[in-house]
């Protein structure tokens, strides 16, 4: 897998991702401590509101940003957004009121909502080979998992010699380092597309996404991932410290078990996806998540929780990692930024549903019932995915164009307006063809 790092442009972008992730991880720790410093016992509600603001920014800003991304040079846009994120983080140590946290978090996460889909849409353009791109997706998944383990440990070490306000400096340097690495390489420019109105550009990614059967299935899988992931992210601390009476170290180990399962799956996926379809791997991962979430309703001990969280980590990575391959297959290069932005927004909309269920239900009706509710949500999502994403999902699809004249350039060598090619939703193909 690491052989992909011999590609210079990808290596610089991957390192940019890693450095920014570490900075973001330090931000997460510092933000929690800042919330406690300002709000005391109400810190949880402050963080919950900040998390909701983050998701709203992701869902609302990403499609709008994608409408402008295709018009701007990618390198300049990514560097500018990194500088904006660094500038916002620079103000966080000087916050004295809770409302200031909310404003700065919205600004920072809005920049991230523009940065991340643009960054993700650039990778398939610099790695056109399917195997290389798959390795890049797995390596990216590993980076996220490692960040969730390394950043808290790094923060704990730094807090022995500096105050938590100084952790924000690490976030600033992370974004500046990311900008420096991006500016050090030449990135492909967005593919030119025909002029469109702002509404058309803003909604194009979501329209392509929802008109493509495999992507409708991906959306359902996203809901299964969010349902199980929310149980782990929101309620691990409740399981470990309230239900089992253990300490913060035990909670860190539990989250490490989840991350470890995810990393092992990410390492295995490049070879696995050479033998089985993306759909099979993702449905298998989603099934692990649904069954594992249901099992969480009857956890007898901390040791069982560690084993179960490891299994959930396996399913989490299996269900998520191949999604970039689906998005790449489902759009022309000029539409990829919009489609990646649609995935970013819609997947976080699933988290916006799952987070409140995991938090509010866990606090009011208890963890066992909450686990059952989230498992049912994940199971229902899998049923929907099976229904909307057919098992026979070829890249090339036989279809016809009854509304085009016979001399249209698209119909060269076609028989009676009927032909076959790699099919994606675009101006000439506005709906998926019905099966004969």
C-alpha triplet 49, 51, 57: angle, nearest 5°: 105
* CATH 1.20.1250.20 fits domain 204-392+408-436: yes
pLDDT at 15: 92
Instruction: Work out the pLDDT band at 251, boundaries 50, 70, 90.
Output: confident
Give per-residue pLDDT as tens, 120-175.
888 888 888 878 888 888 888 777 766 666 766 676 677 777 777 888 888 899 99
Q: Could you tell me the pLDDT band of residue 183, with boundaries at 50, 70 and 90?
A: very high
Q: Where in the chain is the domain with CATH 1.20.1250.20?
A: 1-190, 204-392+408-436
Of the ranges 1-15, 193-207, 271-285, the best mean pLDDT one: 271-285
Backbone angles phi, psi at 110, to 5 degrees: -65, -40
- Which CATH code of 3.40.50.720, 3.40.1170.10, 3.30.1330.200, 1.20.1250.20 fits the domain covering 1-190? 1.20.1250.20
Q: How many CB atoms lie within 10 A of CB 436?
A: 4
Separation of first and last alpha carbons in the chain: 41
Q: What is the CA radius of gyration of the chain?
A: 22
pLDDT at 230 over 80: yes
Range list of β-strands (E), 189-235:
none
- How far is it, in rounded angstroms, from Cα 237 to Cα 234? 7
Q: Over 70: is that where the pLDDT of 100 sits?
A: yes
Angstrom CA distances, 379 to 220, 292, 347, 385, 390, stand at 10, 11, 17, 10, 18
The pair phi, psi for residue 127, each rounded to 5°, is -125, 75
How much is the pLDDT for 427? Answer: 78
Q: Confidence band (pLDDT; 50, 70, 90) for 21?
A: confident
Q: How many residues does the chain have?
A: 436
């Amino acid at each position: 897998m690491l052989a992909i790092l011999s590609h210079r442009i990808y290596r610089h972008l991957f390192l940019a991702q890693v450095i920014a992730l570490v900075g973001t991880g330090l931000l997460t720790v510092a933000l929690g401590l800042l919330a406690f410093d300002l709000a005391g016992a109400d810190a949880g509600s402050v963080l919950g509101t900040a998390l909701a603001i983050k998701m709203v920014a992701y869902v609302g800003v990403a499609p709008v940003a994608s409408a402008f991304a295709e018009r701007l040079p990618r390198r300049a846009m990514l560097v500018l957004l990194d500088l904006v994120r660094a500038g916002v983080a620079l103000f966080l140590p000087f916050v004295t009121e809770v409302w200031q946290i909310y404003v700065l978090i919205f600004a920072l996460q809005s920049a991230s909502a523009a940065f991340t889909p643009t960054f993700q849409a650039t990778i398939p353009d610099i790695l056109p080979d399917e195997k290389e791109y798959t390795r890049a997706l797995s390596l990216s998944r590993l980076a996220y998992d490692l960040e969730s383990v390394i950043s808290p440990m790094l923060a704990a070490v730094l807090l022995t010699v500096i105050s938590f306000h100084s952790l924000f400096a690490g976030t600033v340097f992370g974004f500046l380092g990311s900008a420096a690495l991006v500016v050090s390489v030449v990135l492909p420019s967005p593919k030119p597309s025909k002029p469109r109105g702002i509404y058309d550009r803003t909604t194009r990614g979501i329209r392509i996404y929802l008109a493509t059967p495999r992507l409708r299935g991906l959306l359902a899988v996203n809901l299964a991932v969010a349902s199980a992931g929310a149980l782990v992210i929101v309620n691990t601390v409740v399981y470990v410290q309230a239900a089992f009476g253990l300490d913060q170290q035990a909670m860190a180990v539990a989250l490490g078990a989840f991350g470890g399962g995810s990393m092992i799956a990410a390492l295995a996926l490049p070879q696995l996806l050479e033998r089985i379809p993306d759909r099979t791997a993702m449905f298998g991962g989603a099934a692990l998540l649904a069954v594992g979430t249901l099992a969480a309703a009857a956890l007898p001990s901390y040791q069982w929780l560690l084993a179960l969280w490891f299994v959930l980590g396996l399913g989490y990575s299996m269900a998520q990692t191949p999604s970039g391959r689906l998005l790449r297959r489902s759009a022309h290069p000029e539409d990829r930024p919009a489609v990646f932005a649609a995935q970013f927004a819609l997947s976080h909309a699933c988290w916006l549903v799952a987070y409140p269920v995991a938090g509010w239900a866990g606090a009011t009706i208890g963890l066992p019932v909450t686990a059952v509710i989230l498992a049912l949500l994940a199971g229902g999502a899998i049923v929907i995915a099976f229904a909307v994403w057919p098992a026979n999902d070829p890249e090339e699809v036989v279809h016809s164009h009854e509304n085009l004249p016979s001399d249209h350039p698209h119909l060269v060598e076609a028989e009676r307006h009927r032909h076959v090619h790699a099919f994606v939703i675009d101006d000439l193909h506005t709906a998926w063809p019905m099966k004969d």
